[in-house]
Chain A
Amino acid sequence: MHSSHDRVVTSVYAAALLVVMAGCSPPDDDPIAGATAEPIATATADVVPPAARQAEAFEPPPLDRLEANTKWIDRPVRDGLTLLRAAQEQEPVLATTAEALELKNDSAEANAKILSALGRLPDGDAADLTARIDRHVAGDLGSTNPIMISTTAEFDILGLTGFGLFSFGRDLEPFASAETVTSWKTSADGLLDKVVLRDDLVWSDGTPITAHDVAFSYTVIMDPRVPVPAVRSGTDQMRAVHAYDDRTLVFFHREPLATNVWNINFPVLPRHVYEKTWEDDPSLKDSPAHVKLEAEPVVGGPYEIVERTRGQQIVLRRRKSWSHVKGKQVRDEPYFAEIRFRIIEDPNTSLLALKSGEIDEMMLQPEQWTTQTTDAEFYARNTKATAPEWVSFHFGWNIGTPFFADRRVRRAMTYAFDHDRMLDKLCYGLYVPCAGPFAADSWMAAGLKLEPSKQDLDKAEALLDEAGWIDRDNDGIRDKEIDGKLVPFEFSMLVNQQPHRIKIATLLKENLDQIGIRMNVRPLEATVLQQLTQEKKFQAYFGGWGSGTDPDSSENIWATGAGRNFVGYSNPEVDRLYVEGRREFDKAKRAEKYGRIQQILSEDQPYTWLYWRNSFYGFSRDLRGYVFSPRGPYHYSPGFGSIWKPRAE
């Protein structure tokens, strides 16, 4: 399962992003939210979750019989922009545009004013539809094939070129996208979803987009020979996807799950392009035909890739055939005629680019937010805004090692760490403490309030003594006899090679040193770190996760043997609660289940949770319409689609 259901503009993909990297600092990128540098890791890659199942032989019943036996319930078909416009009409205007542009974002009040004034959608034809935006991404695309999506950069870019049926709004409530879907119905028993596509959709090569493309994509995604990194989790919960005609599509579920609304949301490939080639080359990238497609993909979204210089930039152009079909305008054009993604890995370099006007937006590191974006030089061309975001960071303890098998030791680690210092000094007081997997203001955490962890060295030492880690050989290091050998408590923590994260890990080293434990900080490249954590070749690591839209998406982190359960956590009660939570439709009752999971995890401390990393973005003064969700400013609907530039006066 995944963890994040991302949708930008039109495509919605579910995927969990492992942010093994992001931190409060520089290139930190975050995975999820936009400017991430690292490949986010989704390490996920072909990790098949425990529940993963292949598509099985399934004979769909004829449509007339299906219709006769099914009671349908209407589900929402919405347009993200319309929803946002309606929501904004209810919101008070706290400042005018001119006032907001004069403000320095140095208080919560100023931030609210900036977001209120500059986050508005355009009135009438105020938007310059010929505008170009220069966006920042911290890493290149691994592939232009939408089903291979897994890193933040891919979500950013392929989200704009990809075709999708479903999306979710700022409140993370799912809906079918009015731009592509006419109607969406779910059967009363929860086992079927029926979608009718619009008839005015075409691929970038002019071929109509049909329900057959969606059914075909499901088949490809579920084929075990295809190395799909992230999107298979979710689709593997379904029994089948069947196209009855060009427009009618039915999703058959195995069970009536609360998460089915997310499972039906996956990227779509053009069948007419891939049906001849994919069987011969299931890697989808090696054969000459696929190499050519990689360079010139046939896309179904509002933008197409027109230029790509590896490691430098990717240029997208608005696709006329998205908005105009057979000479008629059938849907709104997105605001930008051209989007140029500049690939800059080093956050200091990208900040220089922002200040000089080479890029129009970027995610800021806390240090940059506090110390380098406060002067007139920054505000000459830019402004900045912040909002809470559901991305959290943690120290993960490998339960398979002799050190961390005992939960008393893991709890001692949490007590040993100076959380306050990390938050106040190393994170510049910008981040919110984190004590468990679900954000405190989210519905799934509603049932339980976790207190932020505090340092308590006495408790830490008492727990270590109790767990049998005592300095027996008088060398100042705690040790324990394991298999007849005295093992000193000395371990390595893997951390992404970023000064900010290294400083946080070093603080823990200092704290542990005080109580007789030696820790080595081992900075690694993001890709090496991912690989080692995935293979469980570590003792401890510093990483992060972007929360999904649904709490069920974290099952692949905590269920026994799950794909992203790097620390090797296993608790039958947690496993059971996830299954129950999925089957429960009453939101309050679901929240109870997840609250209980949160409580168990907090007692077991497989992670030492550290902080929630809020969104911090710098935007050009020319940009308007940025609105933040718990998934950041881009990865929901409309997300990036609401951003515009005003016409020159």
Chain B
Amino acid sequence: MATSGGFWAEAWRRYRRRPLAMAALAFVGLLVLVAALAPAIAGTKPVLCRYKGRLYAPCLGYFNRQWEPAIFTKDRFRGTYPQNLKDKDPESWAIWPLVFQDPFRTVRENEWPGRPENPAKDEGRPSRTNLFGTDQAGVDVFAKMVHGTTVALLVGFVSMGIAGTIGILVGAIGGYFGGWVDTLTSRVTEIVMCIPTLVLILAIIAILEKPTIWHTMAIIGATGWTGIARLTRGEFLRLKNAEFVMAARAAGAGPLRIMLRHILPNALAPILVPITFGIASAILVESSLSFLGFGPPPPSASWGSVLNDARSNLSMWWLVFFPGVAIFLTVLAYNLIGEGLQEATDPRLREARK
């Protein structure tokens, strides 16, 4: 594995020399941060508060509704914290999110002392209180986008995680064993390639009792692995007769060990490239689905669903502009990362450069 470690260090060194690719990586890093801290950036639930002598973090409710402490429902907070905290426990204190806006509902008058109600209908242009404006129902677009980051990232990572796992597995088995096994896996790959992802997703959503974003991810993953499988197969075909593999075999290593410990690390670099591009295309698929109205169930925030709101009134430019820019930048970032990876890990390209 020492060689392999050297290879990656070398690749990283080369990658770092590409400013665009580094900027893209930083951008994705920023998105991860935004997604992880979403409830602390925009929300109406305290990040941390002390209430009746105990500490609570109601903002966790944004990640999972179940994690919001039940005491606030019991005490009839009804989702609005600022005034209720003060009224029901004068001793209480709270740390609030940076922007007091909710991704799922509008903010009413005086919910935050002195703050007017969010504008609704087509009046919600970007302003100091609503940085990116509001949609027709008065929900803050900035808050929606911050919380939608989670969906955008998850869709990319989860679906490509699934696709990568299936693709590498199928490709590795086919490439390593060859013969009828290879014929079988290759045909299966070709069959799956013929399945139109979008149509399949629409059909599954129609059948499911409670479709969620996870189903969409699973389907994108379950249909998007074909390219990865083919590349893996090629790499395995190439490497299975290499000297170090033979050496391992001679030393008595079983097929599983050879595949995972010896071939895979050496084959990984070219496989990572289609995975990165796959993340970008998965984000686009999710956005188009949401745009068409087949996204995660309302009111969950997703960039594509903000775009969908714009469809009925294009004069509300802020509903097109902000999510559009976000989707564009994210997809661009993944593509730049993919390209950077390709150039940093492909020795032939490196040679050509010199």
Q: Please list the residues of chain A having a beta carbon within 8 angstroms of any beta carbon in chain B.
A: 25-26, 347-348, 365, 367-368, 370-372, 425-426, 428, 457, 461, 471, 474-477, 492, 497, 499-500, 502-503, 505-507, 509-510, 513-516, 518, 520-525, 528
Contact = CB atoms under 8 A, between A and B. Distances in A.
B121 A428 contact: yes
A505 B298 CA distance: 9
Given A371-B315, A476-B66, A507-B137, 15 more contacts: A348-B312, A367-B121, A425-B120, A474-B70, A476-B69, A499-B136, A499-B293, A503-B137, A505-B298, A506-B104, A506-B298, A510-B79, A515-B73, A523-B293, A523-B297
Nearest to B76: A461
Contacts of B104: 506, 510
Contact of B74 (A347, A368, A471, A518): A471
Contact of A509 (B120, B210, B299, B313): B299
10 contacts: A25-B312, A26-B312, A372-B315, A425-B121, A457-B78, A502-B298, A513-B79, A518-B65, A523-B298, A524-B206
Contacts of A476: 65-66, 68-70, 72-74
B313 to A, nearest CB: 6
A499 B308 contact: yes
Size band of the B side of the interface? 20 to 34
Nearest to A507: B137
Contacts of A522: 210, 297
Given A425-B121, A475-B70, A476-B73, A371 B313 contact: yes
Given A367-B313, A428-B121, A471-B74, A525 B137 contact: no
Would you call the interface of chain B mostly helix, strand, loop, or mixed?
loop
Contacts of A520: 210, 297
A25 B308 CA distance: 14
Contact of B297 (A515, A518, A521): A521
A471 B297 contact: no
Contacts of A368: 312
A342 to B, nearest CB: 20
Contacts of A471: 70, 73-74
Contacts of B78: 457, 514-515
A499 B105 contact: no
B222 to A, nearest CB: 23
A537 to B, nearest CB: 10
Contacts of B69: 476
B334 to A, nearest CB: 29
A316 B76 CA distance: 61
Given A475-B70, A523-B297, A425 B313 contact: no
B309 interface: yes
A26 to B, nearest CB: 6
A74 B72 CA distance: 71
Contact of B298 (A26, A514, A521): A521
Given A425-B121, A425-B138, A499 B297 contact: no
Identify which of B66, B78, B138 gathers the most chain A CB atoms within 10 Å of its CB: B78
Contacts of B209: 492
Identify which of A371, A515, A525 gathers the most chain B CB atoms within 10 Å of its CB: A371
A513 B311 CA distance: 28
B10 interface: no
B312 A514 contact: no
A475 B299 contact: no
B122 interface: yes
A26 B120 CA distance: 17
Interface string B303-343: 00000110111010000000000000000000000000000
Nearest to A351: B312
Identify which of A26, A425, A428, A515 gathers the most chain B CB atoms within 10 Å of its CB: A425
A81 B297 CA distance: 49
Nearest to B73: A476
Contacts of A426: 120, 136-137
B153 to A, nearest CB: 23
B136 A475 contact: no
Contact of B136 (A503, A524, A528): A503
A348 B137 CA distance: 18
Contacts, number: 94
Contact of A514 (B79, B138, B315): B79
B76 A497 contact: no
A365 B74 contact: no
Contacts of A525: 206
A-B interface, 6 closest residue pairs, ranked by CB to CB distance from nearest: A514-B78, A476-B70, A425-B120, A476-B73, A371-B122, A510-B105
Nearest to B311: A348
Contacts of A523: 293, 297-298
A125 B297 CA distance: 57
A615 to B, nearest CB: 19
A634 to B, nearest CB: 24
A502 B311 CA distance: 14
A499 B309 contact: yes
B152 to A, nearest CB: 21
Interface string B106-137: 10000000000000111000000000000011
A367 B136 contact: yes
Nearest to A418: B108
A510 B298 CA distance: 11
Interface in B51-109: 65-66, 68-70, 72-74, 76, 78-79, 104-106
Nearest to A516: B73
A528 B206 contact: yes
A513 B104 CA distance: 11
A52 to B, nearest CB: 32
B105 to A, nearest CB: 5
Contacts of B70: 471, 474-476
A428 B136 CA distance: 10
Contacts of A521: 297-299
A106 B102 CA distance: 33
B66 A370 contact: no
Contacts of B105: 510
Contacts of A25: 312
Interface in B183-209: 206, 209
A523 B289 CA distance: 13
Identify which of A347, A506, A528 gathers the most chain B CB atoms within 10 Å of its CB: A506
Nearest to B66: A475
B205 to A, nearest CB: 9
A425 B135 CA distance: 11
Contacts of B293: 497, 499, 523
Nearest to A513: B79
Contacts of A348: 311-312
A487 B236 CA distance: 53
A428 B312 CA distance: 14
Identify which of B70, B104, B298, B299 gathers the most chain A CB atoms within 10 Å of its CB: B298
Contacts of A502: 298
Contacts of B312: 25-26, 347-348, 365, 367-368, 499-500
Contacts of A524: 206
Contacts of B74: 471, 474, 476
A501 B130 CA distance: 24
Contacts of B308: 499
B156 to A, nearest CB: 24
Nearest to B108: A421
Contact of A425 (B79, B137, B309): B137
A372 B313 CA distance: 7
Interface in B208-259: 209-210
Contacts of A372: 313, 315
A227 to B, nearest CB: 24
B91 to A, nearest CB: 23
B85 to A, nearest CB: 16
Nearest to B67: A476
Contacts of B309: 499
A428 B298 CA distance: 21
Interface in B127-164: 136-138
B202 to A, nearest CB: 10
Nearest to A478: B73
Nearest to B77: A514
